Amino acid sequence: MRVRAATTAVILATGVFAAMPAARAQCGRPDLVDMVPPDGATDVPRNALLGAHYATSTEYLGEDVVLVHPDGSEQLLDATWDATEQFLSVDPSSSALNGNSSYEIRWPVLRGLNAAAPGLGGKARFTTGAGFDTAPPTFAGVAGLSWDFQRKTNECIDETVERFVFDVDLGAAADDGGTGGLTLMLFQTRGPEVLGMPVPIPARAWPQNGGTRAQVRLTKDEGVGEICFAGLVRDTLGQISEGGDVQACVHTTDPPFFNGCSVAGPGGNGGSDGGRGGALASLLSLAALLFRRRMRART
């Protein structure tokens, strides 16, 4: 059975979200960024959807996604491509993953819209547990925010690039399918180019190996002034957590007159937004619902 794709051309996110990628895009190459679940994951739910994020401007043309079963047999899986998230996902549950068994998923090499050379694919070995993912994940929300200004030479375009770099501290997250199956969905909720609706940052796998921090890079136009972020997590079934009513904020200054700073989340200056918390959570849930529906859509 060949793989087919459902595509969408809308790119919502303007920020660049860095979170311990499996392979970094170089000069616009459409490299694989991370996998859900990651390589080495254990106790993966038997009904888990499997996915991989690629670098932006990637084109999916039906390349094979291969699941290697415990007996060594290989199966081609139907895949769905979400151009909004640059996310390739498959649902192996129709063939019923066996409990307490080892599998391998091979993610293909893809081509980029603006790069002649193909990118990097990847593979992940994982072990299933005995159970299924049923309950939505929990997330305490963003816990703090710090910033700095970065000025470095981009060797791809031979120019100096200036960006604000934000380190987002993450509250505790949990799921009955394990944190290895979670996707972090951050949103910029305040900023000079945030006009009423939270702006999604490209979704990425939850930081592994005990990580509790994600990084967002914004251009000067996007990152000067009062900048706030909030977030949600999504499990492999597309279920969304709460926690979107918590935001963390900082006030940046346009260089050369700036000093990096950090601000705590709830309970700190610029943390949760009090009376607007419910409205903010609703907006984030609405934005996250768009991602979830596209991920769950099958061809």
Annotated domain spans of the chain? 23-127, 138-296
Is the separation of the CB atoms in 216 and 229 below 8 Å? Answer: yes
Assign 30 a pLDDT band (cuts: 50, 70, 90). Answer: confident
Q: Which residue has the higher pLDDT, 277 or 146?
A: 146
- Strand locations in 60-201, DSSP E? 66-68, 74-76, 79-82, 87-90, 102-107, 111-112, 122-127, 138-139, 142-154, 159-170, 173-174, 183-190, 199-200
Confidence of residue 286 (pLDDT cuts 50, 70, 90): low
Task: Tell me the mean pLDDT in the region 228-253.
Answer: 94
108-134 pLDDT, tens digit per residue, is 999 888 766 788 999 999 999 999 999
Question: May I ask the CATH architecture of the domain 23-127?
Answer: Sandwich (2.60)
Cross-strand bridge partners of residue 139: 173
Is the whole model's pTM more than 0.85, yes or no? Answer: no
